[in-house]
Amino acid sequence: MFEIAHFLKPEELDEALRADVSAGLTSEPKTLPPKWFYDDRGSELFTEITRLEEYYPTRRERAILAARAGEIASVTGARTLVELGAGSGEKTRLLLDALDLETYVPVDVSDDYLLEAAEKIAAEYPELDVRPVAADYERHLSRIPGGPRKLVAFLGGTVGNMVPRERHRFLSAVRATLGPEDGLLLGADLVKDEKRLVRAYDDGQGVTAEFNRNVLRVINARLDADFVPEAFDHVAVWNAEDEWIEMRLRSRGRQEVRVGALDLTVRFADAEEMRTEISAKFRPERLESELEAAGYTLAEFWTDPDGDFSLTLARPQKDHD
Ligand code: SAH
Ligand code: AVI
């Protein structure tokens, strides 16, 4: 059996949550960063989202992986797979089947969920050295163990949950962990018809709405707050200028929320909206230019047959210092 490497000390995690919530709830407009969706329940809700008819990204990325896993194996010759924001690791099995791996390092902030997923994978792949790491990939990248011929996978379109400045910082930091033989496998959702995009983030069963409200439950539990999640409506809108979906929580009426751990009282006006997530959608040219700016060259760019989702294999630029 393996041990989980834990870089998320509870006091540091609380401190980070405190700082994010304090800054986010006192800013105008109010915002909350998406990484706090993912306690156990949030991770389960996300997995439920991936099975919804409206939520096409997971199915489309799975189709690309199924079609290209052999090519990914032969082009990269990867022996080590580091997966950032691994979640359930369900699609990853397509890579585990195709690659000739020694080591798999799934990394996630959602520690219990990560451990459970890693245990299942270790049982299914007894020859594989599975080393789960509970960490924040925006803070702990340099401490994440690697290995020879490393492929870093960042799937699901999670890169779109960062604003451009954060993406650049993150992609550059990943680049700094790569040797000349290593690579980055990046899943990114593509710009498409607005109606389909909005439907994917506002499903008929209300699973995404529950996922969105879950951030309030996390804050209640960890920061002694008294949000009434049902007093906020789920909103998903397409921001055409920035080419991203915005998820927001809209206050039903005027309300006051107390966050005990911050000694903070927050007032919401009727219909006031708080942004909880962006999910950027890309055009291929933009992906390429962002990757180049962060020190990569594009080795391969694949999409599913409908052109909905993309998977890019990027290599470190040779002349990059
Ligand atoms: N890769 C999976 C899961 C995507 S959901 C898929 O493609 O289906 C996003 C995952 O990233 C969640 O499991 C969440 O817990 C994790 N995550 C979000 N922010 C993170 C951060 N800052 N550091 C580490 N993991 C993070
Ligand atoms: C994890 N991430 C890529 C998802 C997305 O599509 O942006 C999170 C999500 N939010 C709402 N539905 C799914």
Judged on CB neighbours under 10 Å (0-12, 13-18, 19+), 181 is: middle
From the CA of 187, which ligand is nearest?
1
- How far is the centre of ligand 1, averaged over its atoms, from the C-alpha of 103 (Å)? 20
- How far is the centre of ligand 2, averaged over its atoms, from the C-alpha of 279 (Å)? 7
Q: Which of 59, 294, 66, 56 lies closest to 195, judged by CA?
A: 56
* pLDDT cut 70: percent of the chain above it: 99
The finding on whether 58 has its CB within 6 A of some atom of ligand 1 is: yes
d(CA 170, CA 161) in angstroms, rounded, equals 12
- Residues 61-72 have a mean pLDDT of 98
13-17, 211-215, 258-262: the lowest-pLDDT one: 13-17
Tell which one of 8, 20, 37, 38 to mutate to probe ligand 1, the residue whose CB is within 8 A of the most ligand atoms. Answer: 38
Q: Which of 169, 164, 142 lies closest to 243, judged by CA?
A: 164
- How far is the centre of ligand 2, averaged over its atoms, from the C-alpha of 276 (Å)? 11
- How far is the centre of ligand 2, averaged over its atoms, from the C-alpha of 158 (Å)? 7
Q: Considering Cα of 139, then 216, then 5, then 93, what sign does the dihedral take?
A: negative
Buried b (16+ CB within 10 A) or exposed e, 150-161: bbbbbbbbbbbb
From the CA of 279, which ligand is nearest?
2
The finding on whether 136 has its CB within 6 A of some atom of ligand 1 is: yes
From the CA of 247, which ligand is nearest?
2
Which residue is associated with the tokens 């980070």?
16
First vs last Cα of the chain: how many Å apart?
39
- Per-residue model confidence (pLDDT) at position 277: 98
- Closest atom of ligand 2 to 156 CA is 3
- How far is the centre of ligand 1, averaged over its atoms, from the C-alpha of 73 (Å)? 23
- Per-residue model confidence (pLDDT) at position 131: 96
2-11, 40-49, 70-79, 284-293: the lowest-pLDDT one: 2-11
Cβ atoms within 10 Å, residue 249? 25
From the CA of 159, which ligand is nearest?
2
- Per-residue model confidence (pLDDT) at position 319: 67
pLDDT classification of 10: cutoffs 50, 70, 90:
confident
Q: Are 184 and 155 in contact (CB under 8 A)?
A: no
Q: Are 257 and 266 in contact (CB under 8 A)?
A: yes
pLDDT at 195 over 90: yes
- Residues 261-283 have a mean pLDDT of 98
pLDDT classification of 1: cutoffs 50, 70, 90:
low
* pLDDT tens readout for residues 207-245: 999 999 999 999 999 999 999 999 999 999 999 999 999
pLDDT at 22 over 60: yes
pLDDT at 321 over 70: no
- Per-residue model confidence (pLDDT) at position 280: 98
- Residues 253-275 have a mean pLDDT of 98
- Per-residue model confidence (pLDDT) at position 115: 94
Cis peptide before 316 (omega within 30 of 0): no
- Per-residue model confidence (pLDDT) at position 2: 73
- Per-residue model confidence (pLDDT) at position 88: 93
61-70, 139-148, 257-266, 279-288: the lowest-pLDDT one: 139-148
User: What's the whole-model pTM score?
Assistant: 0.97
- Residues 258-278 have a mean pLDDT of 98
The finding on whether 161 has its CB within 6 A of some atom of ligand 2 is: yes
- Read off the DSSP letter of residue 162: S
Cβ-Cβ contacts under 8 Å for 131 (sequence gap 6 or more): 2, 5, 103, 104, 105, 145
Which alpha helices (H) appear in 38-91, and where do they start and end?
A: 40-50, 56-76
Cβ-Cβ contacts under 8 Å for 26 (sequence gap 6 or more): 264, 266
Residue type present at position 72? I
- Could you tell me how many helices (H) and strands (E) the chain has, helices first? 9, 14
pLDDT at 12 over 90: no
Buried b (16+ CB within 10 A) or exposed e, 20-53: bbbebbeeeebbbbbbbbbbebbbbbbbbbbebe
- Closest atom of ligand 1 to 43 CA is 13
Give 311's strand partners.
187, 302
CA nearest ligand 1 atom 17, residue: 85
Tell which one of 38, 211, 279 to mutate to probe ligand 2, the residue whose CB is within 8 A of the most ligand atoms. Answer: 279
- Residues 239-261 have a mean pLDDT of 98
* pLDDT tens readout for residues 123-149: 999 999 999 999 999 999 999 999 999
